[in-house]
Structure 1
Amino acid sequence: MTAEITLFVNPAAGNGRGRDAAQPAARALRAAGFSVRTVVGTDADDALARARAAVRGGTGALVAVGGDGMVSLALQAVAGTDTPLGVVAVGTGNDIARALGLPVRAPARAGRIIAEALKGGRGRVVDLGRVDGRWFGSVLASGFDSRVNDRANRMRRPVGRLRYDLAMLAELAALRPVPYRITLDDGPALEIEAILVAVGNGPSYGGGMRICGDAELDDGLLDVTVVGECSRTTLVRVFPRVYRGSHLAHPAVTAHRAAKVTLEAPGVTGYADGEPVGPLPVTVEAVADAVRVLVPASALAVP
């Protein structure tokens, strides 16, 4: 086990929590006997280049300090390698951390968990989604939810889940179904008018919205949630249920599972882990056993 750990820090995450969280996480790792090196890039491309260099250099772990965006960036460096990923979740949504059973906004505790997992040779090997060469851990959103994501990302206030709620209300005024063509694995294409289609490696996005509530991180499959044509009133009435995942039982919602999903729809952009991946069409693949994440013993999958 290499004793040097790389902290991959987003200083702007959670209105500065990323910068503040790096120190208690580093202290916990050093107290456990690890040497800690911090990587902060001038921008996302520079940060990723530095993270990849650390992985090539044999760092013992790459620890993302920030929100889902920072974890997603770290995945681009560690996916498909032997380097484990640690997560110090201090961002706004933290959906990837929650899906993994990791603490949120508790950097010292997260640091201790990472140290204990490294010393015990422990980790959870999980799947990732891949689209156009980009890895993602939670959900690829398209349609209404990607427009909400686009608006929420432009907003600076409020923080947390309320920002997504307000962005959703603003987008309701322009609500309209979109003609989708959805291909699951090598089956026949499904053509449907839909408000949104979400492809989940994990269950949630947007700070706890369980849009693909039954998704599992280690089943080798993607969960596809399709919200068909419905009124604004129906969408508003059903929306609160997404935080429990009970929206999946609504007649306007259908769910599918596949290892590969192709989405086609005019004028729609896809977002993966909250980051834009470009306009549809896109093909999303589940990649089994793509990364080892340092988690507490309680979060390990039971055989």
Structure 2
Amino acid sequence: MSRSFTAVVGPAARRGLARLMPVAQLLRAGGARVRVEYTTGVAQAREVARRSAAAGDVVLASGGDGTLRCLGAALAGTGGVLGIVPAGRGNDLARQLGLPDRAEDVAELLLHGAPRRIDVVDTGAETVLGSVYAGVDAAANERANRARWTPSGLVYPLAGARALAGWRPARYEIAVDGGEPVALTAYTVVVANSGYYGGGLHVAPGARVDDGLLDVIVLGCASKLLFPLVLREMRSGAHVRRPEVTVLRGASVTLSADRPVPAYADGDPLSVLGSLSLQVRAGALSVLAAQ
């Protein structure tokens, strides 16, 4: 039996549509029915996604990590299935899931791939698929989101360098699985379901999207002159061997800071950090991805 798909397209969809259309043509050529629903905001997009999944369609997300979070949050816990056409600047969850890039390979996976259950992160106010991060990387993300004319390959490196120049470490308290809080002075804390963020940085190389756990990466105090090397090591995940980096792991994490610092989730603003409580929802979302 052929699959049916509903592609949910938001108002800022130029890049996503350009990637979606050739995939949609290949899906139709393969016998699938494909509808495209245009929406005007997050609330409508999530309602369309839930309604389409309830009717038996695979919900197609064509975009980056923010788009996947928007639609994945709507489907988590419902039994609906999310299909992904990677079309963002970072595509970090797609990278973690090992999704293909060529339209032909994406269509083949969507037509014939088996659903895979992955974890999500409950922040209380939002459902996150990839990671939550509070500190200099969130400040860098703010800058990256404002960038309009910077080549895509340079957006995150330039934003990171500019954010770092004026940043001072904060004092964080981190409690894992209800244990005693650990106090650490750090540039940033990343609570990761997926191992990648920032357009390909392997910030949490031990993270798995289906292990029921969160990996907490704390980048502690170090000379700012060391950061270019640390960033280079993040491409492979080698930075976690540094003494300045602390790695924790658990199913729930409570995080607070001694001053307001920005907190982001999957490329979008989450809050100004006072305190956050994060909890894994194991296997809450079904996606079409390699097993």
TM-score, structure 1 normalization: 0.90
Map 1:42-81 onto structure 2 (within 5 A).
42-56=40-54, 58-81=55-78
Identify the match of residue 158 of structure 1 among 133, 147, 150. 150
Tell me which residue corresponds to 1:39: 37
Identify the match of residue 288 of structure 1 among 251, 257, 282. 282
Paired residues of 1:2 and 1:60 also in contact (CA < 8 A): no
Paired residues of 2:10 and 2:40 also in contact (CA < 8 A): no
Count of residues paired in the alignment: 289
Structure 1: which 4+ aligned runs deviate by more than 6 Å? Answer: none
Asked if residue 269 in structure 1 is aligned to residue 271 in structure 2, the reply is no
Which has the larger strand fraction? 2
Paired residues of 1:5 and 1:60 also in contact (CA < 8 A): yes
Map 1:234-253 onto structure 2 (within 5 A).
234-253=226-245
Residue 33 of structure 1, CA deviation: 1.9
Q: Deviations over 1:255-278 (max 9, x none)?
A: 010100011012112111111111
Paired residues of 1:12 and 1:19 also in contact (CA < 8 A): no
CA shift in 2, pair 1:136/1:279, >3 Å:
same
Paired residues of 1:25 and 1:112 also in contact (CA < 8 A): no
- Identity rate of aligned residues, in percent? 37
Separation (CA, whole Å) in 2 of partners of 1:175 and 1:3: 49
- Cα RMSD after superposing both structures: 1.6
Tell me which residue corresponds to 1:111: 107
Deviates more, 1:213-222 or 1:234-243: 234-243
Map 1:181-220 onto structure 2 (within 5 A).
181-220=173-212
Separation (CA, whole Å) in 2 of partners of 1:137 and 1:191: 26
Asked if residue 93 in structure 1 is aligned to residue 90 in structure 2, the reply is yes
Deviates more, 1:221-230 or 1:276-285: 276-285
Asked if residue 125 in structure 1 is aligned to residue 117 in structure 2, the reply is yes
- Identify unmatched segments of 5+ residues in structure 1: none
Separation (CA, whole Å) in 2 of partners of 1:35 and 1:148: 41
- Which one-letter code corresponds to 1:271 in the other structure? Y
Asked if residue 4 in structure 1 is aligned to residue 4 in structure 2, the reply is yes
Q: Deviations over 1:121-161 (max 9, x none)?
A: x1211111111242212111110111011111111132434
Paired residues of 1:161 and 1:206 also in contact (CA < 8 A): no
Residue 45 of structure 1, CA deviation: 2.9
Separation (CA, whole Å) in 2 of partners of 1:67 and 1:241: 24
Residue 10 of structure 1, CA deviation: 4.4
Paired residues of 1:262 and 1:284 also in contact (CA < 8 A): yes
Separation (CA, whole Å) in 1 of partners of 2:231 and 2:197: 14
Tell me which residue corresponds to 1:278: 271
Paired residues of 2:189 and 2:219 also in contact (CA < 8 A): yes
Q: Secondary structure at the match of 2:197?
A: coil
Paired residues of 2:174 and 2:182 also in contact (CA < 8 A): yes
Q: Secondary structure at the match of 1:53?
A: helix
Separation (CA, whole Å) in 2 of partners of 1:290 and 1:136: 11
Separation (CA, whole Å) in 2 of partners of 1:217 and 1:80: 15
Separation (CA, whole Å) in 1 of partners of 2:76 and 2:97: 16
Tell me which residue corresponds to 1:135: 127
Asked if residue 82 in structure 1 is aligned to residue 88 in structure 2, the reply is no
Separation (CA, whole Å) in 1 of partners of 2:194 and 2:168: 27
- Which one-letter code corresponds to 2:98 in the other structure? G
Deviates more, 1:186-195 or 1:47-56: 47-56
Residue 3 of structure 1, CA deviation: 4.2
Paired residues of 1:11 and 1:18 also in contact (CA < 8 A): no
Q: Secondary structure at the match of 1:268?
A: strand
Residue 163 of structure 1, CA deviation: 0.4
